[in-house]
């Protein structure tokens, strides 16, 4: 007697390896085109989309099951895979069996159509919007960027040591922090950076990085801002500004090249200009703040020495180069209190920013930290920061202080640049923005 074997369950991304075989897909009905007694359902399973074809004459049962079925109904379908130049993707399933797992009711059709929608509408339905191939591709690229970033840091000898999310006080003032009710009457704040904690951990472990969410209550409403975003923050003892610029360029180029290598299909779905990403290899250009001001003035920008750069200035600077540019040695006055001064010119801070190409703005900010106890106390006082809250941080300078440096890489800005998205909100599963926390 014959043994009936069940067809293998396969993912659509691997369907090309099963040409000529009968396979089963578990997914959703992405679209249904009907042409008389012939149906062209398009299935998606999260790894891709695949067109099916069903003839009423040859497969009446499968035809009836799919006929009139609503978009995004969940289905398990079986059929033979064959090359088909007329089908998107080059392969097609001749559907022989259909199991409708979850039918979408006609009275409540799936709201997101295969057409343009407004931002407000899509953001209110982010829980459904993520199903579209474009959004799913972005989220896969995000995952690859995280994997590659951690792979690089680990290979460089950095130990993952995460910073807390509840913090007792502001790093740099409380106005941009989210305050939360802690136990009893205590107040706590959501972290705006793991850096200060990473400095402590770097003195314990040598080279560390943290990777987690950070929170900013700034009322920024731009395509570059979220209230909750993820940062990868390395910190290394006995490290200097130049070490961090080399690390940053290595990290960013490794992330970009890993995405190009491992998520090419997704970049193609996004219609990203891949050669532009392939060019993102070390060395990245390094220019001083002085150079940057000169470049801006040459281009007719009214920037003066001592000004911080806004979005326009960043766009002009980054557009001069085909890969990220690092601007270093800013005036100390416009940088954070903990930045080490340049020993050659004390009005400068040993900090740097990395600006992504194509106007995506600052993706890395960092530099060398003050190692002198006396100077750090002086800077705390100059900035009117509460010394009591920073006693543990001052301890790092009391007990075996060393030169050390680090930076923070904004994940979403980096991924938005890699994906070429119009807005940073598309590169996080559920974006948190000022005035928008649903769903």
Subset of residues 249 to 278 that bind RNA, contact rule: CB under 7 A:
none
List, in order, residues 6 or more apart from 169 with CB less than 8 Å away. 189, 386, 389
127 is an interface residue for RNA by CB under 7 A: no
The residues in 66-85 that bind RNA, with binding defined as CB under 7 A, are 68, 70-71, 84
Give the number of residues in contact with RNA, rule: CB under 7 A.
75
Could you count the other beta carbons within 10 Å of the beta carbon of residue 68? 10
The residues in 392-421 that bind RNA, with binding defined as CB under 7 A, are 408-410, 412-413
- Answer for which of 2, 6, 115, 271 binds RNA (CB under 7 A) is 115
> Of 86 and 271, which CB lies nearer to RNA in the complex structure?
86
Q: Which range touches RNA (CB under 7 A), out of 132-140, 290-298, 339-347, 428-436?
A: 428-436
The residues in 320-349 that bind RNA, with binding defined as CB under 7 A, are 334, 336
Q: Phi/psi at 290 (nearest 5 deg)? A: -55, -45
Residue 2 Cβ, how far from RNA at the closest point, in Å? Answer: 28
- Vertex 216 angle, CA 212 and 220, to 5°: 130
385 is an interface residue for RNA by CB under 7 A: no
306 is an interface residue for RNA by CB under 7 A: no
- Answer for which of 7, 46, 111, 285 binds RNA (CB under 7 A) is 111
- Answer for which of 268, 278, 308, 347 binds RNA (CB under 7 A) is 308
Q: Which range touches RNA (CB under 7 A), out of 8-16, 86-94, 144-152, 287-295?
A: 86-94
The residues in 188-217 that bind RNA, with binding defined as CB under 7 A, are 193, 216
- Answer for which of 22, 24, 47, 87 binds RNA (CB under 7 A) is 87
The residues in 138-177 that bind RNA, with binding defined as CB under 7 A, are 172, 176
- Answer for which of 59, 135, 227, 421 binds RNA (CB under 7 A) is 227
| Contact between residue 306 and residue 332 where contact means Cβ atoms under 8 Å apart | no
- Pairwise CA distance, residues 371 & 399, whole Å: 11
> Of 156 and 301, which CB lies nearer to RNA in the complex structure?
301
- Answer for which of 114, 184, 300, 399 binds RNA (CB under 7 A) is 114
- Answer for which of 48, 365, 367, 406 binds RNA (CB under 7 A) is 365
> Of 262 and 315, which CB lies nearer to RNA in the complex structure?
315
383 is an interface residue for RNA by CB under 7 A: no
Q: Which range touches RNA (CB under 7 A), out of 105-113, 249-257, 274-282, 341-349?
A: 105-113
220 is an interface residue for RNA by CB under 7 A: yes
304 is an interface residue for RNA by CB under 7 A: no
219 is an interface residue for RNA by CB under 7 A: yes
> Of 100 and 373, which CB lies nearer to RNA in the complex structure?
100
Residue 355 Cβ, how far from RNA at the closest point, in Å? Answer: 9
Q: Which range touches RNA (CB under 7 A), out of 19-27, 113-121, 160-168, 294-302?
A: 113-121
The 3-state secondary structure of the chain, one letter per residue: CCCCCCCEECCHHHHHHHCCCEEEEEEEEEEEEEECCEEEEEEECCCCEEEEEEECCCCHHHHHHHCCCCCCCEEEEEEEEEECCCCCCCEEEEEEEEEEEECCCCCCCCCCCCCCCCHHHHHHCHHHHCCCHHHHHHHHHHHHHHHHHHHHHHHCCCEECCCCCEECCCCCCCCCCCEEECCCCCEEEECCCCHHHHHHHHHHHCEEEEEEEEECCCCCCCCCCCCEEEEEEEEEECCCHHHHHHHHHHHHHHHHHHHHHHCHHHHHHCCCCHHHHHCCCCCCCEEEHHHHHHHHHHCCCCCCCCCCCCHHHHHHHHCCCCCCEEEECCEHHHCCCCECECCCCCCEECEEEEEECCCCEEEEEEEEECCCHHHHHHHHHHCCCCHHHHHHHHHHHHCCCCCEEEEEEEHHHHHHHHHCCCCHHHHCCCCCECCECCC
118 is an interface residue for RNA by CB under 7 A: yes
Residue 37 Cβ, how far from RNA at the closest point, in Å? Answer: 4
């Amino acid at each position: 007697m014959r043994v009936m074997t069940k067809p293998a369950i396969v993912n659509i991304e691997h369907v090309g390896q099963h040409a000529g075989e009968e396979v089963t897909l578990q997914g959703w009905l992405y679209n249904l085109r009907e042409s008389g007694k012939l149906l062209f359902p398009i299935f998606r399973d999260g790894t891709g989309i695949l067109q099916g074809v069903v003839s009423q004459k040859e497969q009446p049962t499968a035809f009836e099951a799919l006929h009139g079925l609503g978009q995004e109904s969940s289905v398990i379908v079986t059929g033979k895979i064959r090359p088909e130049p007329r089908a998107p993707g080059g392969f097609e399933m001749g559907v022989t069996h259909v199991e409708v797992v979850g039918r979408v009711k006609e009275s409540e059709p799936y709201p997101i159509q295969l057409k343009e929608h407004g931002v407000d509408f899509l953001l209110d339905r982010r829980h459904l919007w993520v199903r579209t191939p474009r959004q799913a591709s972005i989220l896969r690229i995000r995952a690859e960027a995280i994997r590659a970033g951690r792979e690089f840091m680990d290979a460089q000898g950095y130990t993952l040591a995460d910073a807390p999310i509840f913090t007792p006080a502001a790093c740099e003032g409380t106005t941009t922090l989210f305050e939360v009710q802690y136990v009893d009457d205590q107040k706590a704040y959501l972290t705006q950076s793991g850096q200060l904690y990473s400095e402590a951990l770097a003195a314990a472990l040598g080279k560390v990085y943290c990777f987690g969410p950070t929170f900013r209550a700034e009322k920024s409403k731009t395509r570059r801002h979220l209230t909750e975003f993820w940062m990868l923050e390395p910190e290394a003892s006995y490290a200097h500004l130049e070490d961090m610029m080399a690390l940053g360029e290595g990290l960013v180029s490794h992330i970009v090249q890993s995405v190009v290598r491992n998520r090419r299909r997704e970049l193609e779905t996004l219609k990203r200009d891949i050669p532009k990403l392939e060019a993102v290899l070390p060395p990245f250009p390094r220019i001083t703040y002085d150079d940057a001001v000169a470049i801006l003035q040459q281009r007719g920008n009214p920037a003066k020495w001592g000004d911080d750069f806004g979005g326009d200035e960043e766009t002009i600077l980054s557009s001069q180069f085909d890969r990220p540019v690092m601007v270093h040695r800013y005036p100390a006055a416009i940088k954070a209190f903990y930045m080490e001064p340049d020993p050659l010119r004390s009005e400068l801070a040993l900090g740097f920013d990395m600006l992504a190409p194509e106007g995506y703005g600052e993706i890395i900010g960092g530099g060398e930290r003050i190692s002198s106890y006396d100077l750090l106390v002086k800077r705390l006082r100059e900035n009117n920061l509460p010394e009591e809250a920073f006693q543990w941080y001052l301890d790092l300078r009391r007990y075996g202080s060393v030169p050390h440096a680090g930076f923070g890489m904004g994940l979403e800005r980096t991924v938005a640049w890699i994906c070429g998205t119009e807005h940073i909100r598309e590169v996080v599963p559920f974006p948190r923005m000022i005035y928008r926390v649903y769903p």
